[in-house]
Amino acid sequence: MTQVETAETGQGDAGRRETGSGTWRARIRRAIRIGSRPGPWKRGPVLAALALLLGLLMLLHAKIPNRIGNLGSLVETLLPWFGLFVPVLLAGALWRRSASAVVALLLPVTVWLNLFGGLLGDKSHSDSDLTVVSHNVGADNPDPAGTARDLAASGADLLALEEIAPQDQGTYEKELKKAYPYHTVQGTVGLWSKLPLSDTQPVDIKMDAGPLADTKPPDVKMAYNRALRTTVATYHGPLAVYVAHLGSVRVNPRAGFWTDSRDRNAQALGKAIAAEQNKRVVLLGDLNGTMDDRAFADITSQLQSAQDAAGDGFGFTWPAKFPVARIDQILVRGVEPESSWVLPATGSDHLPVAAGISW
């Protein structure tokens, strides 16, 4: 072997030793980094905390005070949508490989399913004695005649309309006359029926104009009466029917979730229903709120939601183009809800709701 070859061989051995040493050092550094990483139960503490807060928010929603901007009512109005945070937090937990965050998510999932899991299935039955429909037809509805025809095509025995503009009342009466021989209009609410009506009277729900009162197009003048009560002569006996349109709500920077007018209306309506002598009662109307909202406690303590008892899904009704809340309600007492569903859109910004009831 020549001297040159010996030198080259020595350099090669040294290079291999240096490379081997560097590999071991890299492995040691990597092992140290892996050893210093937090375990799966210690990763994602912020995600775990957010999951627990979400669960507690839904679990204790009734404890959220209304003193500041009606925050409690606002949360309860949007309560089903809080479930959308679960998959977001789950994706973050999986990305961080956080076992603690995944386990923490069991709380909001359990609470949400306890509150709304019953709405995920179809609880309806095909048989019913009476079909009722309620619809806020909208004061600025561009096609009241078409809306009336669509509602008549539903085949409902009782058809309640809210927010009837004076200039449209004649149109509804004309279009619905053939299908419904009996009807009454009290202010901006009305009931069309295939069965005789009696003892009809307006219901004073103390509607008053507040600082954020309902705003309608300038050419539309709305009457103040927004509720009625009548007796329907059914084949099974008299049925007390209420039609109501409670005050609107507003989200305002100064007032927060402004519900003063609606809440007063709800209290007054609850008192009227409490004084009702007939054991069989149906309430149809735009209540401008979901039945999760504590403001309706006086009503929900007496009446059962047809959607909760016999609906298919959440039954959101407003706004019509992309419904996010069910503010149009059918509530009953003394009769059994067999089915509840939402009808296709009309010219209104609300969707009509329907229910089948039986004795």
pLDDT per residue over 226-279, tens digit each? 999 999 999 999 999 999 999 999 988 777 899 999 999 999 999 999 999 999
**Percent of the chain, pLDDT > 90?**
78
Answer yes or no: is pLDDT of 175 > 90: yes
Res. 35: pLDDT tops 80: no
| φ/ψ (deg, to 5) at 274 | -65, -30
Higher pLDDT, residue 27 or 214? 27
pLDDT at residue 90 greater than cutoff 70: yes
DSSP-assigned letters across all residues of 89-147: HHHHHHHHT-HHHHHHTHHHHHHHHHHHGGGSSB---S--SEEEEEEE--TT-S-HHHH
Q: What does the pLDDT average to over 94-112?
A: 96
* 320-341 pLDDT, tens digit each: 999 999 999 999 999 999 999 9
Buried/exposed code over 171-202 (b: 16+ C-beta within 10 A; e: otherwise) = bbbebbeebbebbbbbbbbbbbbbeebeebeb
**DSSP symbols for 140-198:** T-S-HHHHHHHHHTTT-SEEEEES--HHHHHHHHHHHTTT-SEEEEETTEEEEESS-EE
The pLDDT of residue 75: 97
Task: Please state, in angstroms and as integers, the Cα–Cα distance from residue 114 to each residue in 56, 102, 107, following that order.
Answer: 13, 19, 11
How many whole angstroms separate alpha carbon 17 and alpha carbon 340?
80
Residue 307 has pLDDT above 70, yes or no: yes
Distance, in Å, from the CA atom of 98 to the CA atom of 43, rounded to the nearest integer, reads 5
The three-state secondary structure class of 201 is strand
User: Residue range 106-124: average pLDDT?
Assistant: 95
Amino acid at 53: L
Measure the CA–CA gap between 211 and 225, rounded to whole angstroms.
19
Average pLDDT over residues 286-313: 97
Q: Which amino acid is at 9?
A: T
pTM: 0.85
Residue 125 has pLDDT above 60, yes or no: yes
HSE toward the beta carbon, residue 196, CA cutoff 13 A: 6
What integer pLDDT is reported at residue 5 of this predicted model? 47
Amino acid identity, position 144: P
Q: So what's the pLDDT on residue 252?
A: 83
Sorted by where each begins, the domain ranges of the chain are 45-119, 130-358
- Helix, strand, or coil here: 322? coil
What's the CATH architecture for 130-358? 4-Layer Sandwich (3.60)
In this predicted structure, the answer to whether residue 297 has a pLDDT above a threshold of 50 is yes
| Residue 286 vs residue 223, higher pLDDT | 286
For residues 277 and 333, give the distance between their C-alpha atoms in angstroms, rounded to a whole number. Answer: 12
